[in-house]
Amino acid sequence: MLSKHDIYEMGNRSKGRETVATVSIDSEVCEQILQSLKEINSKLDKLVVQTEPIPPKIKQLDIVDSMDVMTLLSLPDHLRTTATTLFEIGPATAEEIATSTKKERAVESNYLNQLVRMDHVEKYRTGRKVYFQIKDNA
Amino acid sequence: MALCLAVHSSKGGSGKTSISINLAAAYALEGKNVCLIDIDMRGPSLYTFFDAKPPLWINDFLSKKCGMMDIVEDVSSRFQTSGKFFVAYANPEIKEIRDFACQDRSWQSKALKTLISGKKELFANGIDVVIFDTSPGVEYESVNAVAASDMVLVTHNSTNVSLNAIEQLITGIYNPLSKKVALINNMCHGNIMNSIVEEEVFGIPILENISCMCDVAVKSNNQVLVISEPQHWFSRSIINIKDKLERFQ
Ligand SMILES: Nc1ncnc2c1ncn2[C@@H]1O[C@H](COP(=O)(O)OP(=O)(O)OP(=O)(O)O)[C@@H](O)[C@H]1O
Ligand SMILES: [Mg+2]
């Protein structure tokens, strides 16, 4: 156990060194900075390796945006109803989906575009109409 | 009439296949055009029961190698049904089952689209009732079949394990997919006829309670009971289920 006296003494000792420290600070800090720079450099090297083009095989495995039935089940209720309807009636306009789900066209359009952003659904244009369909990966 | 039923269960051996075959036959006897489809891709049964060696299987259809009407076998004359009785089989070859078990999510996604289009193709060809005999539990093909159907008939073998797992299926699969669900208590034990029978479980109606009868297991090897013994308890239950389903629509 340290006594009050010990602590007082330690404080004094460190105070005493302060004058010395101001002299040696430059070389000590420089050493630390150099060490840090080396570390950063080696970390950067690792990062560069990681961002090199990923071999196509690994990339393919990464694309699992398919709207399979398990994904469907994990969607929030409102999106699930939209997606289920799209599965059932095939490529459809927001209007057609809205008729089936008995919701507003604008609401369904919003949901469908959310599904497009999630990469589960794709949209295409035929004439003046925009159609949505469950995305086919590969 | 256009009705698509998925016969499903939480656990295996609860009577899905027996009930699917007999229910399909009951509809066909009544004059409805029926198509019974083996979706139990990992443990096909219907090819054995119907002693079938079809050139094309449901596997080929799901892989888009052919149309739905190319894979169905017409067994109406064999069973002398007044309505059309079609059956589509799952391929029992181990290589096919292995291939199927390895399919990824992208394939399953397409398989669901294909299954829905197949159902529509059958309806367009005059089929009134489509029945999917599925694998128990949360297999991809079974959940796909549930998603493609209008209604799920859950067979339950009266064990607590099965019952607990059914609750999971209801909350995790049937309800999220907005499916109508009805339960069949099969292989009930004890003096079930005299006991007070519940009307529903977890909010889903019980359509029928069928006792455990050893002769059902024996005779079901090579007979369709609703055809060979229409007065049998099992057959009467099947007719009951069919009639209740009509009111359920
Ligand atoms: N009510 C019953 N009484 C006695 N045996 C029955 C009854 N219902 C079905 N069986 C028998 O139980 C066995 C299992 O039935 P079945 O094959 O129809 O179940 P399943 O749910 O399709 O099984 P799996 O999960 O393996 O596909 C069969 O031998 C069948 O004849
Ligand atoms: Mg079976």
- A74 half-sphere exposure, CB direction, 13 A CA radius: 9
Q: Residue B16 above 50 pLDDT?
A: yes
B170 to chain A, closest Cα gap in Å: 12
Residue recorded with tokens 């694309």: A63
C-alpha dihedral over A111, B114, B119, B35, to 10 degrees? -150
Domain B3-248 has CATH 3.40.50.720: no
Question: What's the burial of B55, exposed, middle or buried (CB within 10 Å: 0-12/13-18/19+)?
Answer: exposed
Can you give the pLDDT at residue B211? 92
Structure tokens belonging to residue B79 = 């069973």
Angle between helices B105-124 and B140-148 (to 10 degrees): 40
The average confidence (pLDDT) of chain B is 94
Cα angle for residues A135, B103, B95 (degrees, 5° grid): 150
Can you give the pLDDT at residue A41? 81
**What string of pLDDT tens digits covers the 138 residues of chain A?**
445 455 445 444 544 444 444 555 688 888 999 999 988 887 777 666 555 554 444 444 444 467 899 999 999 999 999 999 999 999 999 999 999 999 999 999 999 999 999 999 999 999 999 999 999 865
Q: Of A69, A77, A137, which has the smallest distance from its Cβ to B143's Cβ? A: A69
Q: Of A69, A80, A137, which has the smallest distance from its Cβ to B112's Cβ? A: A69
Domain A63-134 has CATH 1.10.10.10: yes
Can you give the pLDDT at residue A18? 47
Q: What share of chain B in percent tops pLDDT 90? A: 89
Sign of the torsion formed by the C-alpha atoms of B23, B234, B246 and A100: negative
Going from the Cα of B21 to the center of ligand 2, the distance in angstroms, rounded, reads: 10
**How many CB atoms neighbour CB A91 within 10 A?**
14
**Domain spans of chain A, in order of start:** 25-54, 63-134
> What confidence tier does B175 reach under pLDDT thresholds 50, 70, 90?
very high
Can you give the pLDDT at residue B194? 46
pTM of the model: 0.83
Taking residues B205-209, report their average pLDDT: 94
pLDDT tens readout for residues B105-157: 999 999 999 999 999 999 999 999 999 999 999 999 999 999 999 999 999 98
Beta bridge pairs of residue A129? A126
Amino acid at residue number B139? E
Query: Which one of A61, A69, A82, A119 makes the best mutation probe of the B interface by having the most chain B beta carbons within 10 Å?
Result: A69
Can you give the pLDDT at residue B139? 94
C-alpha dihedral over A108, A113, A116, A121, to 10 degrees? 20
A133 touches chain B (CB under 8 A): no
**Domain spans of chain B, in order of start:** 3-248
- What whole-number distance in Å separates Cα of residue B243 and Cα of residue B78? 24
Helix (H, G, I), strand (E, B) or coil at A55: coil
B137 touches ligand 1 (CB under 6 Å): no
Can you give the pLDDT at residue A104? 97
CB-based contact B93:B60 (threshold 8 Å): no
B143–A64: do the CB atoms touch at under 8 Å?
no
Going from the Cα of B45 to the center of ligand 2, the distance in angstroms, rounded, reads: 6
Can you give the pLDDT at residue B161? 86
Scanning every residue of chain B, which has its alpha carbon at the shortest distance from the alpha carbon of A83?
Answer: B177
Query: Which protein residue has the closest C-alpha to ligand 1 atom 31?
Result: B217
Considering just the CA atoms, what is the radius of gyration of chain A in Å?
Answer: 32
